[in-house]
Amino acid sequence: MTQDELKKMVGDLAATYVKDGMVVGLGTGSTVKFMVDALGRRVAKEGLKIVGVPTSDRTAAQGRKLGIPIKAVDEVDQIDLTIDGADQIDADFQGIKGGGAAHLFEKIVAINSKRNMWIVDESKMAPKLGSFPLPLEVIPYGSQQLFKRLAAKGLHPVFREQAGQRVLTDSKNYVIDLHLGQIDDAFRLAQYLNQQVGIVEHGLFLNVVNTVIVGYADGPKVLQ
Ligand code: 5RP
């Protein structure tokens, strides 16, 4: 099976967890794209009635195109279930997100959700976090100074660029990726990053997820 087939498999399965009347947080990324497609089909064919709360402009545009009613996080009373992708998940279900530069909105939607589900192909599962670079969303003002502090701390920061330009998030902030190799104490690192002025949010999602669906060649596994 190709990686895209694994992503579609978990995306299709995750969409079956959405029930009539739910307010659903819609994550961001290539795996979630399959899930949103599947939800769109259910809205069109079954008349499924849901409200989607997107975590990025990309997902909002896809949802609208598919006829899924879209509301902003501040326009709903509660979010019943958020389905999102992840970049890396360890044995304790802690995760790194932000590979798609959307982790700020993803975390805001996640912490305001009753339940969180992550959908990933098997390549995202790791014994320890850190081989995937840890994304930070940072305010452009003073970001060079912040970068120097992170480098001096030995955190191997790299400004994320695309086609020679710094990547901008939906909030027009920069992304700095920390190339750490391995994170031994994710909670301690999160505490340090939370204290750094200029970091709007980091991509460590700790004690956030309730259910993980992993796509393997022999089928999906639901872990909770
Ligand atoms: C975006 C994210 C994504 O959920 C994560 O990057 C996974 O994306 P994909 O499904 O394309 O691998 O955190 O900020």
pLDDT per position as a tens digit, 60-83: 999 999 999 999 999 999 999 999
The backbone region for 67, taken as left when phi is positive above 0, alpha when psi lies in -120 to 50, beta otherwise, is left
Task: Measure Cα distances from 200 to 8, 63, 109, 174, 203 in Å.
Answer: 32, 26, 15, 10, 10
Ligand 1 site residues, Cβ closer than 6 angstroms: 27-31, 84-87, 97-103, 106
Please report the atom of ligand 1 found closest to the CA of residue 135.
14
Percent helix, percent strand, percent coil in the chain, to nearest 5: 35, 30, 40
> What pLDDT is attached to residue 184?
96
> What pLDDT is attached to residue 138?
98
Confidence of residue 12 (pLDDT cuts 50, 70, 90): very high
Catalytic residue numbers, as ranges: 106
> What pLDDT is attached to residue 216?
98
pLDDT per position as a tens digit, 23-36: 999 999 999 999 99
In whole angstroms, what separates CA 80 from the centre of its chain?
Answer: 17
Distance 88 CA to ligand 1 centre (A): 9
Residue 221 bridge partners (DSSP): 214
Q: Nearest CA to 184 among 135, 128, 125, 126?
A: 128
CA-nearest residue, atom 5 of ligand 1: 86
> What pLDDT is attached to residue 24?
98
> What pLDDT is attached to residue 158?
98
**Percent share of the chain, pLDDT over 90:** 100
Annotated binding-site residues read 28-31, 84-87, 97-100, 124
> What pLDDT is attached to residue 199?
98
* Best residue among 32, 34, 129 to mutate for probing ligand 1, ranked by most atoms within 8 Å of CB: 32
Confidence of residue 88 (pLDDT cuts 50, 70, 90): very high
Distance 45 CA to ligand 1 centre (A): 28
Sorted by sequence, the CB contacts under 8 Å of residue 96 that are 6+ apart come out as 86, 87, 88, 129, 130, 132, 134, 135, 203, 204, 205
CA-nearest residue, atom 4 of ligand 1: 85
Tell me 206's DSSP state. Answer: -
> What pLDDT is attached to residue 57?
97
> Model's pTM, two decimal places?
0.97
> What pLDDT is attached to residue 18?
98
Please report the atom of ligand 1 found closest to the CA of residue 124.
12
> What pLDDT is attached to residue 21?
98
Confidence of residue 137 (pLDDT cuts 50, 70, 90): very high
Distance 203 CA to ligand 1 centre (A): 11
pLDDT per position as a tens digit, 199-224: 999 999 999 999 999 999 999 999 99
pLDDT per position as a tens digit, 148-201: 999 999 999 999 999 999 999 999 999 999 999 999 999 999 999 999 999 999
Please report the atom of ligand 1 found closest to the CA of residue 85.
4
Distance 106 CA to ligand 1 centre (A): 10
**Percent share of the chain, pLDDT over 70:** 100
Backbone angles phi, psi at 223, to 5 degrees: -115, 130
